[in-house]
């Protein structure tokens, strides 16, 4: 995928990469796309599956740098979100993972600031429990 095609389909693309396989080569049909509003994971060749998460719903991310990936300048990022459909997923084996975490952090914070959402506002957001506001 080239950046112009991605921008035409997804809008303001901040970062994208493919899952890396043997020797850190992007020979996979899994594509990760970070826009200014959402994070997409697109998988498949013939039957394409695409999941997306609103950035303001992302609560945490953890960087993992196993030796087998580090040798080729890759790493993985586990993303946790307050999303019913996809509460967590793995951005597996991408180049420059620390840069990706920094870009993700900046983009998530910008989206939260836009909606004036703080981390504590997200607790209980997607747990499915009814919200009681007291009785009169």
Q: For residue range 14-58, what is the model confidence (pLDDT) as tens digits?
A: 999 999 988 888 889 999 999 999 999 999 999 999 999 999 999
Closest CA to 81 of 62, 96, 106, 103: 62
pTM of this structure:
0.81
- Residue 38 in contact with residue 53, Cβ under 8 Å? yes
Give the CATH architecture of domain 3-121.
Answer: Roll (2.30)
- Position 21 scores a pLDDT of 87
* Mean pLDDT value of segment 4-19: 89
- Position 135 scores a pLDDT of 43
Q: For residue range 77-113, what is the model confidence (pLDDT) as tens digits?
A: 999 999 888 899 899 999 999 999 999 999 999 999 9
């Amino acid at each position: 995928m080239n950046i112009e095609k991605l921008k035409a389909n997804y809008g303001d693309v901040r970062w994208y990469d493919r899952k890396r396989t043997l020797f850190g080569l992007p020979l996979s049909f899994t594509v990760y796309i970070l826009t200014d509003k959402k994070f997409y994971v697109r998988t498949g060749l013939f039957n394409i599956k695409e999941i997306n998460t609103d950035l303001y719903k992302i609560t945490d991310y953890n960087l993992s740098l196993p030796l087998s990936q580090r040798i080729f300048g890759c790493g993985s990022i586990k993303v946790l979100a307050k999303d019913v459909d996809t509460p967590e997923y793995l951005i597996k084996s991408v180049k420059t993972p620390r840069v990706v975490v920094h870009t993700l952090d900046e983009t998530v914070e910008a989206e939260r600031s836009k909606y004036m959402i703080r981390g504590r506002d997200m607790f209980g957001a997607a747990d499915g429990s009814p919200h009681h506001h007291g009785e009169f």
